[in-house]
Amino acid sequence: MTLMRVRRAAQLTLPADVRQALNVTEGDYLEASITPEGVLLKPMSVVQRERAWQRIKEIKAQVVDTQPNPNEDATAEEERIAEEVKAYRRAPKT
């Protein structure tokens, strides 16, 4: 069991073993939930919208559509590509 102390302005410092177990570093976000046993901390991924769209545009520029659909508008094409990128990211890495 790791003991923590509440400091000025209600701040907590996560001990090194807790940070390593959660794989969190400075600047990461944690979601705090109240449970019957106490407080549950879960690492959360916060995406900055502008940076995310920039990355999608970069990835899209690298995608080659071998069978383009001439009837597909640009917005539908971007959404389709975004879904393919999401599926790739969700796929188990080998």
Q: Within a domain: residue 18? A: yes
DSSP secondary structure, 31-44, as one string: EEEEETTEEEEEEE
Can you tell me the distance from the alpha carbon of 43 to that of 29, in angstroms, rounded to the nearest whole number? 6
3-state secondary structure of 82: helix
| Segment 43-61, tens digit of pLDDT | 888 777 788 888 888 888 8
Question: What's the Cα-to-Cα distance from 38 to each of 2, 30, 41, 52, 60, rounded to whole Å?
Answer: 14, 15, 10, 34, 44
Question: Where residue 34 falls among pLDDT bands split at 50, 70, 90?
Answer: very high
Residues 35 and 13 in one domain: yes
**Whether this model's pTM surpasses 0.75:** no
pLDDT band with cut points at 50, 70 and 90 for residue 94: low
pLDDT at residue 79 greater than cutoff 70: yes
Across the range 5-29, mean pLDDT stands at 89
Q: Specify if 1 maps to a domain.
A: no
Q: What is the CATH number of the domain that holds 28?
A: 2.10.260
